[in-house]
A and B are shown apart, each in its own frame.
Chain A
Amino acid sequence: MSRTLEIRDLFVNYNTDEGVVHALNGLNLSLDKGESLGLVGETGAGKTTLALSIIRLLPDMVGEIKSGSIEFEGKKLLELSKKEIKNIRGNKIAMIFQDPMTSLNPTKTVGKQLREVLDLHFKKLGSNEKREKADKMLQLVGIPPERQNEYPFQFSGGMRQRIGIAMALIAEPELLIADEPTTALDVTIQAQILSLMRKLQDEFSTSMILITHDLGIVVDTCAKVAVIYSGQIIETGTVEDVYAKKFNHPYTEGLFKCIPDLKTNAPRLTPIKGNMPDPENLPVGCKFYDRCNYRTEKCAQKEPDLYTNVTHGIKCYKFADGWGK
């Protein structure tokens, strides 16, 4: 299998008036062709920062990629010019946003917006072919093509998200980044959208990064999982590795315990104590140190490596023995 995306040692800062916010702190991540990866983390962990770094849409002046590399199909994305990255963004790497109402243009019909993508990325196609392609795509996501002359506000939330997916996939991207695509939707509509995404991902063999805070969504939709905390990947593996709940990072373990279980009737939940460290002054050692039940002195002094066992990697000293580096 060939590598689609390889992120090495990525550091991203936001330079604000109050100080420097360390959003990503040495993040490593890789994705093969056709693979789907669920990126799980809480508010402020750096999920969206990572997505914006890949498509180079960090806010100007404020967001700064300090060091590290992002390789996409062998190209070093961070070294490309603005013009070159523009050709990749939307064409090779597409993104689906959380709120489909704010990412669609309210003043243009849905069909027009879809054909705009084609105008940009398939310049050679004739207008009839473009229309055909747009019709086919709409049909694929379950929107009757006759409705393409309507405006976004005339569609329901679920349908708008389908349109968002159609817009992202019509250029046949190699990599799809979906940032909380179902958070604004109801559960039954969420189930529809997720099954649609699975189907389309198979059909186009697109690689996908699904960003979410919901551990339940990942297990049904993705093959691989990465847990992000304080701008670092602290656990990664196949869905089976992580959800077997045998070996987990203390943070992942805590997350699982926070979710009420449908099968048992535990009277109380076990929340993770404390908060994520302040990104303006991060601890030297393990970023989870303050909240961890297993901490030792070593954890405060030096950050652990990601110890691996075949496909499963955990960034915690608990796994230093027996697991490789």
Chain B
Amino acid sequence: MDGENDMVTPIIETKRLKKYFKVRQGLLHALDDVSLSINSVETLGVVGESGCGKSTLGRVLLGLLPATEGDVLYNGESIFDARGRKKDFIYNEMQMIFQDPFSSLNPRLSIKDLIAEPITVRNTITDKVEIKNKVLELMELVGLSERYVNTYPHELDGGGRQRVGIARALALDPKFIVCDEPVSALDVSIQAQILNLLMDLQERNELAYMFITHNLCVVKHISTNIMVMYMGKVVEYTSREMLFEKQLHPYSQALLSAIPLPELRQNREAIVLTGEVTNPINPKPGCRFAQRCKYATAKCTDQEIPLVEVEKGRKVACTLYM
């Protein structure tokens, strides 16, 4: 995000990424003009409400969904153009941790087989003893005791299962991991354990994360930069410190004030938004938040609102700052 880092090639970068889904009523705009970059050992937090395109973004970044327009660059090279061994290499280096540790693990595989699965599928290690050693090493890394090696997912609690999910994501020694709501299904005490683990692993393995969540306390804890999305568009993109100090986009303001904090209120007034997220199918030009925005004027809906840098290190898409 900052100017000084221009020399470093980001691990992952997107350029005006678009993803539209064809549905019966027209085109569903899941992502519109999303440009982002993540450096090594950095975390980009992506926040927004259901249906704003967070998960679609994660999937397109990993090449699980083709983009409608735009490009995804991994270490400066397009992932969509890569072929053959190059493609295998890139795809090994990018992994994902899923939200629900209950449905993302095959109940019929033992913990050992689950963690070894990425290795056997991609054939990165062929020797059986070596695979076993790698599995044990990964289990130790994520804090799973060795005695679980022959157990099955149902024998573990939510936190334990999420650790298996993390070990699977780490099995191919990736450099970039998309974490799609990895702690939302967990109790707070377990959530804290998993967040600590993810941060330790990031330092140890020099990982870059894209952390998708709707929990703003979590995003503040783990992110370097934060991107606020609303209906497929980026409305504010800045560093964590700047966003939590002051939010410029009215949606970011509402989102942050709506977080329930476990403390007695002191002059903190929630902005209660009226209405709900509007239809992302064939959206009209202009700001998609305008219908719920108290500052909305005619200017907001008669033109496209670009994401512009309003101060150093902060981009906002709002007519108030144009």
**Chain A contact residues, CB within 8 Å of chain B:** 42-43, 156-159, 186-192, 194-195, 213-217, 219-220, 239-240, 243-245, 254-262, 267-272, 275
Let me know if B216 and A187 touch, CB within 8 A.
yes
- Cα A219 to Cα B220 in complex, Å, equals 21
Q: List 10 A-B contacts (CB under 8 A).
A: A43-B158, A43-B187, A187-B255, A188-B258, A191-B258, A216-B259, A219-B264, A243-B263, A257-B192, A262-B261
- Cα A187 to Cα B257 in complex, Å, equals 9
Let me know if A213 and B273 touch, CB within 8 A.
no
For residue B217, which residue of chain A has the nearest CB? A260
For residue B257, which residue of chain A has the nearest CB? A191
CB neighbours (8 Å) of A269 from chain B are 192, 195-196, 221
Q: A187-B216, A190-B258 are in contact. Are A219 and B190 (CB under 8 A)?
A: no
B231 to chain A, nearest CB (A): 13
Q: Contact flags (1/0) for B232-257 with A, using CB distance below 8 Å?
A: 00000000000010000000001100
CB neighbours (8 Å) of B50 from chain A are 157, 186
**Chain B contact residues, CB within 8 Å of chain A:** 49-50, 157-158, 187-193, 195-196, 199, 214, 216-218, 220-221, 244, 254-255, 258-265, 270, 272-274, 276
Let me know if B49 and A187 touch, CB within 8 A.
yes
CB neighbours (8 Å) of B259 from chain A are 187, 216, 262
- Cα A189 to Cα B157 in complex, Å, equals 30
Residue in B195, B214, B262 whose CB lies within 8 Å of A243 = B262
A-B contact count (CB 8 A): 106
Let me know if A220 and B188 touch, CB within 8 A.
no
CB neighbours (8 Å) of A195 from chain B are 270, 272
A244 to chain B, nearest CB (A): 7
Q: Is the interface of A mostly helix, strand, loop or mixed?
A: helix
- Cα A189 to Cα B50 in complex, Å, equals 11
- Cα A254 to Cα B262 in complex, Å, equals 13
CB neighbours (8 Å) of A213 from chain B are 187-188
For residue A220, which residue of chain B has the nearest CB? B260
Let me know if A42 and B189 touch, CB within 8 A.
yes
For residue A45, which residue of chain B has the nearest CB? B187
Let me know if B276 and A156 touch, CB within 8 A.
yes
CB neighbours (8 Å) of A262 from chain B are 216-217, 220, 244, 259, 261
B288 to chain A, nearest CB (A): 14
Let me know if B189 and A260 touch, CB within 8 A.
no
- Cα A269 to Cα B244 in complex, Å, equals 19
Let me know if A188 and B157 touch, CB within 8 A.
no
- Cα A140 to Cα B189 in complex, Å, equals 38
Residue in B158, B258, B274, B276 whose CB lies within 8 Å of A187 = B258
Q: A42-B188, A254-B189, A259-B217 are in contact. Are A158 and B276 (CB under 8 A)?
A: yes
Give the residue among B189, B258, B261, B276 with the most A Cβ atoms within 10 A.
B189
A19 to chain B, nearest CB (A): 17
Q: A219-B260, A219-B263, A243-B264 are in contact. Are A188 and B273 (CB under 8 A)?
A: yes
Let me know if B260 and A190 touch, CB within 8 A.
yes
For residue B159, which residue of chain A has the nearest CB? A275
CB neighbours (8 Å) of A159 from chain B are 276
Let me know if A187 and B214 touch, CB within 8 A.
yes
CB neighbours (8 Å) of B196 from chain A are 268-269, 271
Let me know if A192 and B273 touch, CB within 8 A.
yes
A157 to chain B, nearest CB (A): 8
For residue A184, which residue of chain B has the nearest CB? B50
- Cα A191 to Cα B216 in complex, Å, equals 14
CB neighbours (8 Å) of B254 from chain A are 188
CB neighbours (8 Å) of B260 from chain A are 187, 190, 194, 214, 216-217, 219-220
Let me know if A191 and B190 touch, CB within 8 A.
no
Q: A219-B262, A269-B221 are in contact. Are A258 and B272 (CB under 8 A)?
A: no
Q: A258-B191, A262-B220, A271-B193 are in contact. Are A188 and B49 (CB under 8 A)?
A: yes
- Cα A56 to Cα B157 in complex, Å, equals 29
- Cα A271 to Cα B199 in complex, Å, equals 14
